[in-house]
Copies of this chain bind each other. A is one copy, B any other.
Amino acid sequence: MSEQSVEKNVLEIKDKSELMIDLAYSSLLYDNKTIAKEVYDLEDLIDTIYSDLQRETFEQVKNKTLSVDSALTILKLAQAGEEIADAAQEIADVQLRDVELHPIIKLSLRESDEVFTRVQVSADSILCGKTLGSLKLSSETGMQVIAMRHQNRWLYGPNKYTIIDAEDILFAKGPEDGEEHLTALANATSNEI
């Protein structure tokens, strides 16, 4: 493992752990056990990355390519990410254990600073066949797609190369007025724009 993969791993723990929080709350709001299980799988993945990172920092300190101070900082950041992932798993656990979420709590979660939404892309939506990157969905609507369902396949944490297809279901989070915009786009045909 090179120095580059140390950074890559720190970044992956950061991004994945934050995605896990969003997925966990989405699983609660939409009573979705598939998403909740993904949070568990991501937690396993983060444990593996964290173990690799621990070994690699020691190897690099031994080889004098990393200072002890830098190694400690890197592990501290990674450990914080690992703890965030654990907390996300506890949130997903509420969904998986079939505990009925108090309806008022569910309602209240929707009034969060950032709302979660789920929209289905209509067959003739202008989003169809385009990548998230080319649509600039996130910067144009403020909504970040955190998961997608394409027929029976799921995709978590899509990137700019991910293509949106007709009938896909998008799970996203963002500001309240972004939700309306995204829903409008998912239902808008090119004739309407």
Contacts and interface: CB of A to CB of B under 8 A. Distances in A.
Contacts of A94: 73, 76-77
A73 B114 CA distance: 21
Which applies to chain A's interface (DSSP): helix, strand, loop or mixed?
Answer: helix
Query: In the complex this chain forms, how many copies of it are found?
Result: 2
A169 interface: no
The range of chain A's interface size is 35 or more
B76 A80 contact: no
Contact of A178 (B19, B139, B181): B139
A23 B61 CA distance: 30
Interface stretch (A85-93, A121-129, A147-155): A85-93
A3 to B, nearest CB: 7
A72 B84 contact: no
A99 B177 contact: no
Interface string A70-110: 10111011011101101110110110000111101101110
Interface of A: 3, 7-8, 10-11, 14-15, 18-19, 21, 25, 66, 69-70, 72-74, 76-77, 79-81, 83-84, 86-88, 90-91, 93-94, 99-102, 104-105, 107-109, 111-114, 136, 138-144, 157, 174-175, 177-178, 181
